[in-house]
Amino acid sequence: MKFMPPAKSERWITWMLIYAVLLWLPFILHRFVLLGQTFSLTISLRFALLALVMSGIVNGLGWLGVRLVWLITTIGIVIGLGLMFIYSNRDMSGWADLAAFLTFYLCTLGGFTLGLLTEGMYWLIRKLHKS
């Protein structure tokens, strides 16, 4: 994972902001383009806050050196965004937006959990080999 900044590097702040924007854009595209809702500044700002909080958590863990959590959570987010867009194209008679967003959250939380487990196992293996 040489493409990632080292732990406690100031570059993580830049990564966090770029990550937040790249996460916010699909939310906006999904809501206002794919679902055809009228533009609302309030909803846009809520999505921006959600993206910033998620980015802060993921990149904050990367800053602490927990890089596998960052990587696996990002994979979960990308899969979740893809499924969110796919599920929105199905005819679910009004439930498409809710089902799509819940699928996104499920994939994100699954990636986060899997990342924590992987990082924990990696830490345990390193600890056992040092002894």
Reduced to 3 states (helix: H, G, I; strand: E, B; else coil), residue 64 is coil
Find where tokens 């939310």 sit.
Answer: 27
Token couple for 74: 């990002």
**The two three-digit tokens of residue 104, written as one number:** 């996104």
Q: What is the structure's pLDDT at 91?
A: 72
Quote the CA–CA distance of 61 and 126 in Å, as a whole number: 19
Burial of 105 (0-12, 13-18, 19+ CB in 10 A): exposed
Give residue 2's pLDDT band: very low, low, confident or very high (50, 70, 90): confident
Place of tokens 């937040």: 20
Q: How many CB atoms lie within 10 A of CB 7?
A: 12
Q: What whole-number distance in Å separates Cα of residue 81 and Cα of residue 83?
A: 5
pLDDT in tens, 3-36: 999 999 999 999 999 999 999 999 999 999 988 8
